[in-house]
Structures are given as structure tokens and as C-alpha cells.
């Protein structure tokens, strides 16, 4: 368990049609998402089409994230069924988020999910999110982080590194 003696919620409702569902070992559900070159490039920073992940890679990634934080699949209610459309890991250092399904990108889902991460970390008593890494080419992610109050603390040729002070009043990104 990533946060000792603290149970991970099974479900975190976001809206009536969006929720976070605790990872239950079904890593294969993430494979189509990570085989999308757009998702893989923005998640892992890898452009090489020959290195698109296979099932073993996705299994290892999910196991790692689940053991280092609270891994959730982002689900959307579609025609009466909950369908996985992305994933997020609640952890105080570089909490990763990926929206696998293109029609859910650019609609505020990332901000909604990251707000849930922020709320959960505050509830767990954390004072800061550190090391959030955004690739320079992923301007949508950079904008989302900054809208939520993250500050750039370091830059490299390839990345921005951001932090968020969780002790400050939550006045960002609630539109």
C-alpha cells in the first residue's frame, strides 16, 4: 500500500459521468491508450514508433505506479457503462496523468482529475507536490498545471519542472 495504514478509496466521483476507479490489476485495459503515439510521447517522452509499449511494459508501469502511489483509472459513463479513458496516480512527487481517449482531451478532464489529486494529497497531509515534469512540447499540460497554481521551478532543454504549494488557499482552476 503506497500510503501506509491509509486505505485507498475504491471510487472517487468527479461528476455524475466521470470518476476515478482504484486500479484493480487489469493493466490490459491501459494497453490501447499507451499504444497511441500521442499518449506515449506525452507520457514517456519517446517519439520512436518502434518503441510503442507492449503488454509487459504496461503491466510493469501499472505495477510500479500502484506500488508508489494510489493508481486510478479515469472512467467515463458511456451508454450506461463505465469505460476507462485514462489513468492518474496520486503521489506527492510528479503525479502522472494520461488521457488515453482523444475525445476526452482538451475538455477540462485533466484539470478535473488533477484537482482530485490535489484534494487527496491535502487530505493526506502533504504540503507540496514536487517534481511534476511536463515536456516542453506538451503546452496543454503546462497550461493545465499553471492554471491550477503550479509554478515552474526549473527548466531544461526538454522539460519544465513544476511544484505546487498545497498549504496555499485553493483559488486556482475552479472555473
pLDDT at 175: 44
pLDDT at 61: 93
pLDDT tens sequence across 121-147: 999 999 999 999 999 989 999 999 999
Q: What is the mean pLDDT of residues 144-155?
A: 96
What's the grid cell of residue 169?
488557499
What's the grid cell of residue 104?
476526452
The residue among 31, 25, 54, 52 whose CA lies nearest residue 41 is 52
What's the grid cell of residue 94?
510528479
pTM for the predicted model, two decimal places: 0.91
Is residue 33 exposed (0-12), middle (13-18) or buried (19+ Cβ within 10 Å)? Answer: buried
Residue the block writes with cell 512540447: 137
R_g of the chain, CA atoms, integer Å? 15
Amino acid at each position: 500500500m503506497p500510503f501506509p495504514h491509509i486505505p485507498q478509496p475504491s471510487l472517487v466521483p468527479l461528476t455524475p459521468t466521470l470518476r476515478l476507479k482504484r486500479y484493480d490489476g487489469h493493466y490490459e485495459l491501459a494497453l490501447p491508450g499507451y499504444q497511441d503515439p500521442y499518449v506515449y510521447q506525452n507520457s514517456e517522452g519517446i517519439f520512436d514508433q518502434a518503441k510503442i509499449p507492449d503488454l509487459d511494459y504496461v503491466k510493469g508501469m501499472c505495477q510500479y505506479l500502484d506500488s508508489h502511489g494510489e493508481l486510478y483509472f479515469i472512467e467515463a459513463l458511456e451508454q450506461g457503462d463505465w469505460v476507462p479513458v485514462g489513468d492518474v496516480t496520486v503521489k506527492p512527487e510528479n503525479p502522472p496523468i494520461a488521457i488515453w481517449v482523444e475525445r476526452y482531451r482538451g475538455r477540462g478532464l485533466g484539470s478535473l482529475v488533477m484537482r482530485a489529486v490535489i484534494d487527496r494529497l491535502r487530505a493526506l497531509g502533504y504540503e507540496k507536490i514536487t517534481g511534476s515534469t511536463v515536456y516542453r512540447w506538451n503546452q496543454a499540460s503546462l497550461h493545465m498545471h499553471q492554471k491550477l497554481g503550479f509554478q515552474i521551478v526549473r527548466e531544461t532543454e526538454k522539460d519544465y519542472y513544476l511544484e505546487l504549494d498545497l498549504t496555499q488557499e485553493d483559488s486556482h482552476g475552479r472555473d
